[in-house]
Structures are given as C-alpha cells and as structure tokens.
Amino acid sequence: MQDDRVWLVTGASRGIGLAIARRIVASGDRVALLARGDTVHALAQELGANCLACRADVSKAEEVTAAIASIISHWGRLDVVVNNAGTHRGGKLARLESDDWQSVLDTNLTGAMTVCKAASEHLGEGGAIVNIGAVVGFRGFPGDSAYAASKAGLAGLTRALSIELAKRGITVNLVIPGLVLTEMTGGLSEKALESMRAKIPMGRYGEPDEIAEVVEWVARSRYMTGAFVPADGGLMSSFGIAG
C-alpha cells in the first residue's frame, strides 16, 4: 500500500466527520467527503486537491455505490472507510414515531452496512473500517431508544465484520465518542447538557478534533481489530462499562 492512503468519511460536512477529514488532509492523505447536503462541494474545494466531494445519502444504496465508484475512478483505490454519518430522533416509547425509528436505523445502522458492503470489495491488505459509535449504545438513556438501538447494532456489526474481514488483512474497529458539542447535540437544553457534563470524569465536553485524533490512530493500527475504543473523558468507566 502507498503511503498516502485514500479515505472515505461519511457524514463529513460538519462536526466530527469534518474534523476527521481536515486531519487526514493535513497528514498528507487523500479523503473523499460523503454527505447529503450540497455544502460538501464547497468544503472539498476549501480542503484542496487531496479532497473529493461525494454527495450521497448512506440510506440509499444506489447513491453509495455511485459515490464509491467515483472515488475509484478518481484515485484508483480505497484504503480506509469511516462510518460517521448519523441522525438522531428522540422520543420516549409512547411518543416515538415509527418513521423516526426507521429513519435512525436506516442511516446509522443499515447505512453503515451499505457503505461497508460497497467499499469492502475495494479494500485490500492493510485496509481499515472505523465505525463511530456512541456511549448510548452501551448505556441507555430515556427517550433515546432509536439512537441507542442503532449504535448498539453498529457495535455488533463491528465485531462480526472484524472476524469476517480479518483473513483479508482488513481491520474493523469502533470508536466511541463521549459528549461532543456538534450540530447533532444542538437540540439539547442547557440543563440536559450540564447534567450530562457533570457525569464526565474529566469534567468537560470533548472536541471534534480530539475524536478525529483517535479515529486516525485506530485506522492506522494494524494488529487491533474488533475493538471498542472510547474517547469519552471517562464517561463509560463512570457507568462501569468495559470498552
């Protein structure tokens, strides 16, 4: 494998996904930004020649297939996949709409599987898949059943694919961010955020760049696969959850 690897980052137009993309370009690697919104084109232009825009919705298999085909056409290969695309729809059981439940699963879980399936045929020895999980996938919160179920499912998918793809020299791992202030957490009240922050042993929120640092390290690790790697300020430890 060449030194300058080709990465695909989903949900790359904001938050953690964009922080990962910026870090990868800064390291000298190439990165394809996959996102639903048209801002992805301006972001790719801003990041320069080592960045490619792929506008696609991970819940639509035909769009994912076309995006990956464009990466292969443009750069000739694919080395690392980061499944970061996610959506959040809350609501306690009695108020959770079936459409909201399905939308979260379609993006967070089925979408990740769709990307893995389409990308895996292009990954070779030394390739890597990094899935972005969530603490709620291991420790439930009231009103978060859809998001929790999707992220718990992603953890199971990670373990299964790590075994399946190990014989091809491809690693599959799960990075578990803690509470990071992004557009997705923007809908939470100050009271809810403060209550959650108080449970973090390090006493503060995480930064997108701090998660990106862990994702890059995990993707470059060659003998670690099927691992759950928290980057959460100790939040999972405070709940007594092993990584």
205 classed as catalytic: no
**What is the per-residue pLDDT for 90?**
80
**What is the per-residue pLDDT for 185?**
59
Check 7, 138, 147, 228 and give the catalytic one.
Answer: 147
Hey, what amino acid is at 216? E
Residue 136 has pLDDT above 50, yes or no: yes
Q: Closest by alpha carbon to 197, among 235, 236, 142, 161?
A: 235
Q: What is the mean pLDDT of residues 137-161?
A: 93
Q: Closest by alpha carbon to 1, among 71, 76, 52, 84?
A: 76
DSSP single-letter state for residue 180: B
Tokens of 161: 């694919």
Cβ atoms 9, 84 nearer than 8 A: yes
Rg for the chain (alpha carbons), in Å?
17
For helices 208-220 and 15-27, the axis angle rounded to 10 degrees is 50
Q: What is the mean pLDDT of residues 193-198?
A: 80
Residue 231 has pLDDT above 80, yes or no: yes
Hey, what amino acid is at 230? P
Q: What is the pLDDT of residues 176-191, one digit of tens each?
A: 999 898 766 555 667 7
**What is the per-residue pLDDT for 187?**
58
**Of the candidate ranges 79-83, 141-145, 193-197, 233-237, the one whose mean pLDDT is the lowest:** 193-197
Q: What is the pLDDT of residues 95-117, one digit of tens each?
A: 999 999 999 999 999 999 999 99
For the structural domain made of 6-238, what CATH number should be given? 3.40.50.720
CA angle at residue 209 from 173 to 109, to 5 degrees? 40
Tokens of 219: 């993707």
Q: What is the mean pLDDT of residues 62-67?
A: 98
More confident residue, 142 or 38: 38
DSSP string, 50-68: TEEEEE--TT-HHHHHHHH
**What is the per-residue pLDDT for 186?**
57
Residue 243 has pLDDT above 70, yes or no: no
**What is the per-residue pLDDT for 112?**
98
Measured in degrees and rounded to the nearest 5, phi and psi for residue 224 equal -105, 125
Q: What is the pLDDT of residues 75-91, one digit of tens each?
A: 999 999 999 999 988 88
**What is the per-residue pLDDT for 1?**
44
- Percent of the chain exceeding pLDDT 70 equals 94
DSSP single-letter state for residue 12: T
**What is the per-residue pLDDT for 194?**
81
**What is the per-residue pLDDT for 64?**
98
- Say how far residue 175 (Cα) sits from the centre of its chain: 8
- Say how far residue 57 (Cα) sits from the centre of its chain: 14
DSSP single-letter state for residue 184: G
- The pLDDT mean for the chain works out to 93
More confident residue, 199 or 124: 124
Q: What is the pLDDT of residues 15-44, one digit of tens each?
A: 999 999 999 999 999 999 999 999 999 999
**What is the per-residue pLDDT for 197?**
83
